[in-house]
Each structure stands twice: as structure tokens, then as C-alpha cells.
């Protein structure tokens, strides 16, 4: 029963807009149910997943596209977009890509700003570590080591990535919020 209760709690935690009463309906039936609670909870969980995916389909596609783009061609764009002189001055090149991507995705779905920042920060970096340390196991291009800033330790580069992602995502959310507010005031 503990697993069924947990599934039901997970399913009904944050329903998509317009589905709140359905979540309450499923929860109320679950409370009245005597038998197969797990089956009912699993069904509610898959229903919520379906509704969530439908609402977030474009967002998830955008996020996936951004992550694939970062995994495959970030070093290329960094070299194309960032002037050499700026890098010599200590500018951290990946910010030129991470910051605007996080800003745009969060502008589209401001409610998921933190998820956007974390996904865009974590997944390309995990991929980079895997390809760096498991080079030869996978058929994958060896990316440029972008997680260091000049001679600073890697943690500095990672924190710069995270900072760039978070600030882009939060700025995107703030811009969207300000636009919404001014539109509502009109």
C-alpha cells in the first residue's frame, strides 16, 4: 500500500492547468477504493503523465533540442561567436551559448526555469565527462575541454556553467513575468 500511496501522491502533486478537478476526482475514488489500490494509482499516474506530456510537449522538445545542440556543437559555436581577444581577457566562452538558450527556453515556460537551468547545465556536462573519461568505449566526438576557465580548477568552470544557466533562466522568467504584468495592466 505504501507504494500505491506514493504513486498516488506523485500523480496528484502538481496537475497541469485545467486538470485540477480531475486530480481531486481520482484521489477521492482512490480513498473509497477497497481492492487493487496499486492498479488504480498506476493508472492515475500514467493519466497524469499523459496530460503533463501533452501540456509540456513543445517545452520538452525545445529543451531536448537545446541539450542536443549543446552536446554536439557547443565548442564549434563558441569558437565562431566569441572573439579571440575576449577569451584572452578571461571571458568564459560557453556563456555566450548557455545564457541565451536558458533565457529563451525559460521565457517560453517560466514555471520551469529551475528545471531548464539544471537540465541544460547537467546533461551536456555529464555527456562531456562520459566522453572524456570513456573515450574509446563510445563512438562519440571528443569535445573540447570547456569546463575549465584557463588554468582554474574544473569546479570553477562548472560553477560558471551553472551560474550562466541559472541567470539566463531566471532572467527569461523575469522578462516573461514583466511582459505579462504590463499586458494585464493594459
Partner 1 sequence: MAGLQRRPSEQTLQVLSALQEARRQWRYGLEIAAATGLKSGSLYPILARLDERGMVESKWLEPEKAGRPARHAYRITAEGRAAVHEAQQQQRGIRLAPEGGH
Q: Which residue from 25, 57, 61, 64 is in contact with partner 1, where contact means CB under 8 A?
A: 25
Q: Which residue has the cell 572524456?
A: 132
Residues 59/128, Cβ–Cβ less than 8 Å? no
Q: 18 or 136, CB closer to partner 1?
A: 18
Give the x-and-dash track for 34-73 against partner 1 (CB under 8 A).
-----xx-xxxxxx--xx----------------------
Helix (H, G, I), strand (E, B) or coil at 146: coil
96's grid cell? 555566450
The reply on whether position 22 binds partner 1 by CB under 8 A is yes
Which DSSP string do the residues of 72-140 spell out, in sequence order? Answer: HHHHHHHHHHS-HHHHHTT--TTHHHHHHHHHHHHHH-GGGHHHHHHHHHHHHHHHHHHHHHSBTTB--
The reply on whether position 27 binds partner 1 by CB under 8 A is yes
45's grid cell? 499516474
Q: 37 or 156, CB closer to partner 1?
A: 37
Q: Which residue from 4, 12, 19, 143 is in contact with partner 1, where contact means CB under 8 A?
A: 19
Supply the minimum distance, in Å, between the C-beta of residue 137 and partner 1: 39
Binding site for partner 1 (CB under 8 A): 19, 21-22, 24-29, 31-33, 39-40, 42-47, 50-51
Amino acid at each position: 500500500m505504501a507504494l500505491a500511496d506514493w504513486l498516488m501522491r506523485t500523480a496528484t502533486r502538481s496537475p497541469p492547468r485545467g486538470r485540477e478537478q480531475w486530480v481531486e476526482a481520482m484521489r477521492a475514488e482512490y480513498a473509497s477504493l477497497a481492492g487493487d489500490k496499486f492498479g488504480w494509482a498506476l493508472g492515475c499516474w500514467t493519466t497524469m503523465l499523459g496530460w503533463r506530456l501533452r501540456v509540456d510537449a513543445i517545452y520538452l522538445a525545445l529543451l531536448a533540442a537545446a541539450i542536443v545542440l549543446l552536446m554536439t556543437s557547443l565548442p564549434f559555436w563558441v569558437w565562431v561567436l566569441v572573439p579571440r581577444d575576449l577569451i584572452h581577457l578571461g571571458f568564459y566562452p560557453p556563456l555566450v551559448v548557455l545564457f541565451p538558450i536558458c533565457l529563451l527556453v525559460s521565457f517560453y515556460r517560466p514555471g520551469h526555469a529551475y528545471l531548464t537551468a539544471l537540465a541544460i547545465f547537467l546533461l551536456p556536462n555529464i555527456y562531456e565527462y562520459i566522453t572524456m573519461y570513456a573515450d574509446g568505449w563510445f563512438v562519440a566526438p571528443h569535445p573540447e575541454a570547456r569546463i575549465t576557465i584557463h588554468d582554474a580548477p574544473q569546479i570553477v568552470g562548472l560553477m560558471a556553467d551553472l551560474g550562466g544557466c541559472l541567470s539566463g533562466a531566471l532572467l527569461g522568467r523575469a522578462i516573461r513575468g514583466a511582459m505579462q504584468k504590463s499586458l494585464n495592466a493594459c
